[in-house]
Amino acid sequence: MDMFESQPGIHRHWNSACERFASDHNLVKLAAEIGISAQVLRNKLNPEQPHRLTVNDLLHLTNCTKDYSLVDGALAQLGRLPCVAGDEITSATNIPAQALKISAAAGELAGESVQLISGARLTKTRKDAIVARANKAVRDLMLFAYAVEERFHSVPVLSTTADLLTNGNLPGLM
C-alpha cells in the first residue's frame, strides 16, 4: 500500500469527529451555506468515502456552525488538546463561575468513569457525549487559567509587591 493512500482506521479521532459533526447538523442546509452539494458534504464527512474535507471546508463549516468539534478532532488526531474559541475567552473572567464549571465537569466525568469500570455498555452515542464533555472540561480549565492570568496582570504592581513582601525577592530575579 502506498504511504499516501488512505488507511481505514488510521485517523480514528478525526473520523469520529466527522461522524459526530454529520449527525449533529442539517447537512442539506449547511452544504447550501458553504456552496457545495449536500451529497458531496455527506461524502466528505464519511470516513468510508474517498472524498475528504479540505482546510477551506473545515474553516467554512466551523465558521457557519460555531461548532469546533471538527477542529478538536483534528487536534486530537495530532495529539493536541481541544481549541478554545476567542469569544469564550472574553466571557471567562469570572473565576468562581469557571471553578464551578470545572467541578461540575469533573463530577460528571467521574460518574461516567465509575459506570465504565462497573462494566456498563459503552455505546457510540454515550462515547460521543463523554468525549464532548471531556473536551468542554479542558476548555473550561484553559479559560480558568486565562481568567487567573488576566486577574494577575490587571494589577501587576500589587501582585509583584505582594510577592516581594511575602518572599523577600522579586519574581524572575532569583
Low-confidence residues of the chain, pLDDT below 70? Answer: 1-9, 86-88, 90-92, 155-174
Residue that is last in its domain, among 77, 96, 113:
77
How many domains, the chain? 2
| pLDDT on residue 159 | 52
3-class secondary structure for 1-70?
A: CCCCCCCCCCCHHHHHHHHHHHHHCCHHHHHHHHCCCHHHHHHHHCCCCCCCCCHHHHHHHHHHHCCCHH
- The answer to whether residue 1 sits within a structural domain is no
Residue 92 lies inside a defined structural domain of this protein: yes
Same domain, residue pair 72 and 142: no
Q: Any idea of the CA torsion for 12, 142, 89, 157, to the nearest 10 degrees?
A: -160
Last residue within a domain, chosen from 28, 55, 77: 77
Distances in whole angstroms, Cα of residue 161 to Cα of each of 64, 146, 150, 155, 156 = 47, 22, 17, 10, 8
- Examine the fold and report which residue of 77, 103, 125 is the final residue of a domain before the chain moves on: 77
Encode pLDDT of 68-116 as tens digits: 999 999 999 999 888 877 666 766 677 888 889 889 999 999 999 998 8
Counting Cα atoms < 13 Å in the Cβ hemisphere of 76 gives 21
Confidence (pLDDT) at 2: 42
Q: What pLDDT is recorded for position 128?
A: 87
Q: Cα–Cα distance between 61 and 46 in angstroms, integer?
A: 15
pTM of the predicted model over 0.85: no
**Which grid coordinates belong to 146?**
486565562
Question: What pLDDT does residue 6 have?
Answer: 46
- What angle is formed at CA 127 by the lines to CA 123 and CA 130, rounded to 5 degrees? 140
Q: Give pLDDT, residue 150.
A: 77
The DSSP secondary-structure symbol of 146 reads H
Inside any domain, residue 4: no
